[in-house]
Structure 1
């Protein structure tokens, strides 16, 4: 049976509970006060005291960045001026196939001759040395080309351009390439190759033009095969062809360092009247290919020069002035091209060398005469390009019998010298 508390007892119990609650609240308040005081004197906690998500930090205002003002559009006259400036002294050079040796020569010329708006040479990868003549004749923007001397034969006789010698002239004779005809042992002479398969190289290479031309001039009908290089050599060893034509400056890369090759040999190419127009007589010697040519012997052959050609524009025209500027700049930098790291072939250049069957560009003779006069008075050749204009002027003064008596006179003479040089370059 449950007992119930009497009224006085209940009142006493309520009073005790109230007192306990008051004491507990006071103790709790005192504890929180102590925690608050302790928090003020301690480092901030590394973890938040509350599990409520913290307020995102207020985003500070980014400093204002002034937007770049858009360039004002150029006017039509400004565009025309830029176009004229960039094209005035820019020359296009037809070089050759991308894997051909002429491309390197053209690239080195472009690097060395670059003079900002005063001269810019742009080498062009083309369809080959023979087609470079067509580019020089007909392609817009081409004023200079590298080709072989016998390329004239095709255009003069087959294309019917009897006036090609007047339209195209040469500036320099580049390196000379030897004609190598490599055959199986049973073919001793060129006449033995009549009716045989002969590899003449792929379209665009020198052998593809010179090889058939040689046999045609000698009246020997062959069956040309359009392969060259290592592929032709492999076919030769397999017996698929009788011989191959290879045109390169000696020692040719294909045969350089090649060991003895029993059953194969170089076929002689005698220098006869049929080759007197564009070719030189030469020979393949054992020191060039020790493994392929017997000691104390030599194989007679012919060589064809490569040519730096220009279009023979009418004197006084803009295109003629551009070609003249090209010639000046090239000759000024020739000595630099003859130093490493440029192609060793530059060292073999002979400025006086003639090219059979070709006429020289008239302005080249003017430049050569000027170089001779400068050498006579003690100036370095124009081809050195190693001295500044001021240094050349000082050398000029040193060569005179009587120097200017005053600094003012010397400065006036130097201004006249610069003006004379500037007019000469135009």
Structure 2
């Protein structure tokens, strides 16, 4: 009995020792161990000029744009842009409104428009820094589809949930009054089914900056084409803009000298309207200065070709420009050399 009691006491002591917190050592620090001055200084330095940028899905174009913005504007400890992967265009707006640490976002104009009914004061909370470039609507169809009306009742793929096509595509089709069977599978799989005539998919809808690599690679049988969409054919909101697909964009599908009418969705670099003079406001002000003063660097090889079309002066209808961005533009215009009319003498 004494032996059993001794064993029991020994086990109790052993277990009690195992359950006690370990004494912190250099090799195994406690999570709540206070940071020393050097660590505190490093933490403050790392976070001082960090800007969170909501950028969308990994397979989307906005995440590439965000990564390129970060590459150009980052400057050691002076500015650090962190692109953040989200669940798509609508979630970028939500992130800008509600997610901690997010100061800016790449959003689509129609996604922002949908929030106006849910957030009545959204125009006071979000403004735009830059009108990046349009994302063109591509409706790519099988040979038997000759017009938009032929798509009624057919399967149309809008890519995976969270992409621009999966959000804006159905909205546009509703305004075109097209009643289609919507599918949301990855576009590469849908295109392969179309090529082989499997799965009964009649069309795929891309909404992204042209040209799309998927239509530049490989060979397609005669008859595959892009359908025209006339902006006058439907009750479109003013944030959809007229655009064209040309033979220069897609020589395999569009004969030289011909255009395919379509529409585009403006893609915007938006900012949260932090109180003027606040820490987050100062970070965004520095982002504007670095981005605008280095905009020509985006024209270099390796960057998205659409950067060459970006105009700092381009406006976004129905939305105010972020104040530091407008001030930067005003200063630039004020210091721009004035043209002297021909025939005017200079003294």
Short-chain TM bin: 0.7 to 0.9
Q: Mark the CA change 1:287 to 1:86 in structure 2 (over 3 Å): closer, same or farther.
A: closer
Which of 65, 79, 90 is equivalent to 1:119? 79
Other structure's SS at 1:314 match: coil
Q: Distance in 2 between matches of 1:74 and 1:213?
A: 53
Q: Distance in 2 between matches of 1:363 and 1:203?
A: 35
Other-structure match for 2:202: 242
Give matches, 1:51-200, under 5 Å: 82-157=42-117, 160-200=118-158
Q: Mark the CA change 1:98 to 1:321 in structure 2 (over 3 Å): closer, same or farther.
A: same
Q: CA deviation at 1:363?
A: 1.8
Other-structure match for 1:287: 248
Q: Distance in 1 between matches of 2:116 and 2:77?
A: 37
Other-structure match for 1:299: 260
Other structure's SS at 1:376 match: coil
Q: Mark the CA change 1:369 to 1:227 in structure 2 (over 3 Å): closer, same or farther.
A: same
Q: Distance in 1 between matches of 2:92 and 2:152?
A: 31
Give matches, 1:338-377, under 5 Å: 338-376=299-337
Structure 1 stretches lacking a partner, 5+ long: 1-72, 378-426
Q: CA deviation at 1:110?
A: 1.9
Q: Mark the CA change 1:156 to 1:196 in structure 2 (over 3 Å): closer, same or farther.
A: farther
Other structure's SS at 1:293 match: coil
Q: CA deviation at 1:181?
A: 0.7
Q: Distance in 2 between matches of 1:84 and 1:260?
A: 56
Question: CA deviation digits over 1:65-86, x for unaligned, max 9?
Answer: xxxxxxxx98777665554443
Larger relative contact order (Cα-Cα within 8 Å, sequence gap ≥ 6): 2
Structure 2 stretches lacking a partner, 5+ long: 1-32, 339-347
Q: Distance in 1 between matches of 2:147 and 2:255?
A: 17
Q: Distance in 2 between matches of 1:319 and 1:249?
A: 31
Corresponding residue pairs, total: 305
Are the aligned partners of 1:90 and 1:120 in contact in 2 as well (CA < 8 Å)? Answer: yes
Q: Distance in 2 between matches of 1:330 and 1:297?
A: 36
Are the aligned partners of 1:258 and 1:289 in contact in 2 as well (CA < 8 Å)? Answer: no
Q: Distance in 2 between matches of 1:110 and 1:141?
A: 16
Q: CA deviation at 1:367?
A: 0.5
Q: Mark the CA change 1:90 to 1:287 in structure 2 (over 3 Å): closer, same or farther.
A: closer
Question: CA RMSD of the aligned region, Å?
Answer: 2.7
The structure with the greater share of residues assigned to strand is 2
Normalising by structure 2, we get a TM-score of 0.78
Q: Mark the CA change 1:310 to 1:193 in structure 2 (over 3 Å): closer, same or farther.
A: same
Q: CA deviation at 1:323?
A: 1.3
